[in-house]
Amino acid sequence: MLRVASVNVNGVRAAFRKGMQPWLDQAEVDVLALQEVRAEREDLEALLGDDWVIAHDPATAKGRAGVAVATRQAHREVSVELGPKALDTAGRWIEVDITTPSGNPLTIVSCYVHSGEAGTPKQDAKYEFLKHMDTRMGQLGGQASGALVMGDLNVGHRTLDIKNWKGNLKNAGFLPEERAYFDAWIGHEESEQYNKGAAGRFVDIGRAFHGEVEGPYSWWSWRGKAFDNDAGWRIDYHLANTRLAGALLNYRVDRAPSYDTRWSDHAPVIADYDI
């Protein structure tokens, strides 16, 4: 079994100060994908310790973004190439090829999509990233070996993924143009092929495991009573290609027990795979 977790840490040094270490100790994960690391490699190495093999792609702009994949086994290959240099230096995409304990090749991706802002250059940057991500998703979806794209993708695909979806129809994160990319990767919710991984598409592991229910959400604003009222967004994903999706054993959102025990505004999403 391979236990894989992904979380936007909202700054890894701050997350460890607030209590990430006890969570990591009890979670017993084999692969850890991190987004919004906002630190240097030596910081990650000091915080995670010697038991992890770390691949890290920091943003050129200090204190921004940054993604990483930490594993218990050596990496066969690491890549941060997604498209133009401006994307490849933004600290938003890293993929690592590993061999699982049972001998299977597996590609692990940690991805941090822009949050965007409707009608601004920030949204243009988000669409540019999604366009190049779409090309790579097509390649990963069709590969014979397992592929798992994880991270804070900053889009709620369906109304089930956002508590207050009606109030966000014109906001970044729930725009039709953004959601169309997820239709391409997973399938439209009204399609017979939705979330079946057919024709090189991916399976949304969280939705496949939990079914047609609201959430479970993975992000809540720090403001107000969003966390206490579970008024969140499901924007943190495990997207598995067909080869891997069939090996799913279990999935959960590791929501903090209370507001004051949170160490990030995101909760880790964790899955077990028989691979």
Average pLDDT over residues 42-59: 96
**Sequence-ordered list of residues with C-beta below 8 angstroms from that of 24, at least 6 positions apart, any chain:** 32, 48
Whether residue 61 is predicted with pLDDT greater than 90 in this model: the reply is no
**How many domains in the chain?**
1
CATH number at residue 82: 3.60.10.10
Cα 8 to the center of its chain, rounded Å: 8
**Residue 68 scores a pLDDT above 80:** yes
Instruction: Tell me the mean pLDDT in the region 253-274.
Output: 98
- The gap from C-alpha 1 to its chain's centroid, in whole angstroms, comes to 20
CB atoms within 10 A of CB 76: 12
Tell me the residue type at 210.
H
Q: Is the confidence at residue 88, as pLDDT, over 90? A: no
pLDDT band at residue 84 under the 50/70/90 scheme: confident
Residues 6 or more apart in contact with residue 42 via CB below 8 angstroms: none
pLDDT-above-90 percentage for the chain:
93
Print the domain residue range for 35: 2-273
Classified as helix, coil or strand, 224 is: coil
The pLDDT, as a whole number, for residue 50 is: 94
Q: Spell out a b/e string for 81-101, using b for 16 or more CB atoms within 10 Å of the CB, else e.
A: ebeeeebbebbbbbbbebebe
Tell me what the pLDDT averaged over the chain comes to. Answer: 96
Per-residue pLDDT, 237: 99
Peptide bond into 176 cis (omega under 30): no
- Residue 62 confidence (pLDDT): 84
